[in-house]
Amino acid sequence: MCTVKTGFGTTKFGIHTIVTDESIHPTKLGRALEERGFDALFVAGHSHIPAGSAASPRGGELPREYFRALDPFVVLGTVAGATENLLLGTGVALLVQRDPIQTAKEVASLDFLSNGRAVLGIGAGWNREEMRNHGTDPRTRGRLLDERIGAIIEIWTEDQAEFHGKHVDFNPIFAWPKPVQRPHPPVYVGGQSAKAIARAKRFGGWMPSAAGITAPAGAAEQIALVAPETPVIVNAAPPDPDIVAAYREAGAAGITFHLPNVPEAEALRTLDNLARLIG
């Protein structure tokens, strides 16, 4: 790995989804993706949704899958055992709601067990009530996110890791396993704000949403915000051949398509259609 590890070579294609107790089983999903030529699976999720915060930041009610999401790292570990080459990522893990020492171990364990296929997508989140339930002050979540990812990288890369910040502070510790990937699994930062983009440039890669991209020109403009210095994985791109081509031509490292929370038969039909698009 060089100074910036992308997790991808030429543009790769993946699926972005929330896995629930009502969706296709992750083992079947992982196998179906490899059979159809997909390169990656990115899983999102919330620990919970507070009863008083069921509104979407884009308006309307939150989709049902937000309330029923399985833990993304458990899902990805299950998929790792059922696949050979599929990249396994979070899209995104809400790191401001997760302990950094435990998260470092979860990702390193996933990378070890999958023989170097883990990708960590992270984000600061938007649900303030959810954050508060985890003891996180929404006003300082950006600084907390910076320190937690810094601490995780320290744990991954040092035999005796220590970190001293305002929000994360620990003396030297031993923590194994270390990731298979060197110096560590690729890190992608979600979010569209200027602060999120700056954070992505510091920590490795950017994982913007393609929501609102309706024309090829918009795809190219989005990638141009950070390229070519910072690799980009586009989340939930519209299944439009012209927009997909624009993302590829602009240099996107990865493009994912959203798989809705549907039963197995419908999920497989959706994957068949998307496979024809990328094929």
**Domain boundaries in the chain?**
12-278
CATH class of the 12-278 domain in this structure: alpha beta
Q: What is the mean pLDDT of residues 134-150?
A: 98
User: For the whole model, what pTM was predicted?
Assistant: 0.94
Residue 2 has pLDDT above 80, yes or no: no
* Per-residue pLDDT band at 58 (split at 50, 70, 90): low
Integer distance in angstroms from the first to the last C-alpha of the chain? 28
- pLDDT tens across 33-50, in order? 999 999 999 999 999 999
pLDDT at 121: 98
Mind giving me the DSSP string for the chain? --SS--S-SS-EEEEEE--BTTS--HHHHHHHHHHTT--EEEE---S---TT--B-TTSSBPPTHHHHBPPHHHHHHHHHTT-SS-EEEES-EEGGGS-HHHHHHHHHHHHHHTTS-EEEEEE--S-HHHHHHTT--GGGHHHHHHHHHHHHHHHHH-SSEEEE-SS-EEEEE---PPPSSSS---EEEE--SHHHHHHHHHHSEEE-B-TT--SHHHHHHHHHTTTTTS-BEEBS--S-HHHHHHHHHHT-SEEEEEE-S--HHHHHHHHHHHHHHH-
Most confident of 6-15, 43-52, 182-191: 182-191
Q: What is the mean pLDDT of the chain?
A: 94
pLDDT at 8: 56
Q: What percent of the chain has pLDDT over 70?
A: 95
Q: What is the mean pLDDT of residues 78-97?
A: 98
